[in-house]
């Protein structure tokens, strides 16, 4: 089976399917050859988002990760107590 050739939407580098990063967003499949190109893309993307919406999205994302961290901390706390 021949791998499909893909092109990084940020830097234009050509790479084979299975390498790089694929992100499906807003009905589009985006291909990036590296994490740094994906990060560049998303840094530009957020500038086009409505600031109010962005504020809400940032808050929601922060609390999602705070929840996750809290769970992890509680789990490690339980492990320590079990010792």
Note the residues at the interface with Zn ion (CB under 5 A). Answer: 8, 10-11, 13, 33, 37
Measured from the CB of residue 21, what is the shortest distance to Zn ion in angstroms?
9
Cα–Cα distance between 83 and 79 in angstroms, integer?
7
Specify the residue, 24 or 51, whose C-beta has the smaller distance to Zn ion: 24
Residue 33's SS3 state is: coil
Q: How far apart are CA 33 and CA 61, in angstroms?
A: 25
DSSP type of residue 12: -
Question: What residue has token string 């940020």?
Answer: 10
How far apart are CB 25 and Zn ion at their closest, in Å?
Answer: 17
Which residue's CB is nearer to Zn ion, number 6 or number 33? 33
User: Min. distance of Cβ 55 from Zn ion in angstroms?
Assistant: 29
């Amino acid at each position: 089976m021949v791998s499909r050739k893909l092109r990084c939407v940020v830097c234009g580098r050509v790479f084979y399917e299975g390498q790089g990063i694929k992100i499906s967003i807003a009905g589009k499949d985006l291909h990036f050859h590296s994490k740094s190109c994906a990060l560049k893309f998303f840094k530009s993307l957020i500038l086009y988002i409505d600031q109010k919406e962005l504020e809400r999205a940032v808050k929601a994302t922060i609390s999602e990760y705070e929840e996750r961290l809290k769970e992890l901390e509680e789990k490690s706390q339980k492990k320590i107590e079990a010792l």
